[in-house]
Amino acid sequence: MADYSTEGELTESVRVLRDEVLDTVEHGDRDPPGAEVFDALLRALSIGGESVPGLDLALHDAVSRRLAWGDTEEALLADAELVFDRLMIAVERAFRDPTDQMVVVEAATLVAVTVARVVSLAAVARASRDRAARLREELAQRQLHDVLGKQKQVISRLETDTDFSDLSDDQG
């Protein structure tokens, strides 16, 4: 391919690689795994190599959605790695100019790092929620143990009081 004068031309040339990178033939008409990663790459290329808050927000939403639907953090990272690997092969084949390859590799690296950061933040948030739930459960168990201990004492006292009153009724 030729040297691209604008980021828009480069973005469109990478967009053409979508089916190859995502292996859409295998997945039919549903979104293939890693589609959010490829879409983030296209956004990063269209905006330029700057640190992009919009990239973080869109990726965060996509990752959160997949996690909410039951995908694991490992699956998300594996999909991102697969997209990155397939993209590197496709870019090397499709782009002859090293400058164009470097621009795409830089944007893909930015996206991969962002995916890893968003997934790690989600994992930390999930771990803290799990820990809080476990602590609440332990507190509830401790309170239940205390209440049951007090009830046992009351029952023992009532049984003792009842036993003495039964003896005095029998003698009288």
Termini Cα distance of the chain: 112
Q: Which domain holds residue 105?
A: 7-129
What is the domain count for the chain?
1
Q: What is the pLDDT of residue 150?
A: 94
Q: Tell whether 140 is covered by a domain.
A: no
CA-CA distance, 94 to 149, in Å (whole number)? Answer: 74
pTM above 0.95, yes or no: no
Rg, C-alpha atoms of the chain: 31
Q: Tell whether 1 is covered by a domain.
A: no
CA-CA distance, 123 to 102, in Å (whole number)? Answer: 31
CA-CA distance, 33 to 27, in Å (whole number)? Answer: 9
Q: What is the pLDDT of residue 1?
A: 43
Own/partner pairs for 83-88, CB < 8 Å, 24+ apart? 83/21, 83/22, 83/34, 83/37, 83/38, 83/41, 84/37, 84/108, 84/112, 86/20, 86/21, 86/22, 86/23, 87/17, 87/21, 87/38, 87/41
- pLDDT tens track, the chain, 172 positions: 455 556 678 888 888 888 888 876 565 555 778 888 888 888 888 876 555 666 778 888 888 888 888 888 999 999 999 999 999 999 999 898 999 999 999 999 988 988 898 889 888 988 999 999 999 999 999 999 999 999 999 999 998 887 655 555 555 5
Q: Tell whether 18 is covered by a domain.
A: yes
Alpha carbon 14 to its chain's center: 26
The model's pLDDT over 130-155, given as tens digits with 9 standing for 90+, comes to 999 999 999 999 999 999 999 999 99
Q: What is the pLDDT of residue 21?
A: 85
Q: Tell whether 134 is covered by a domain.
A: no
Q: Tell whether 13 is covered by a domain.
A: yes
Q: Tell whether 137 is covered by a domain.
A: no
The CATH number that applies at residue 92 is 1.10.490
Q: What is the pLDDT of residue 68?
A: 87
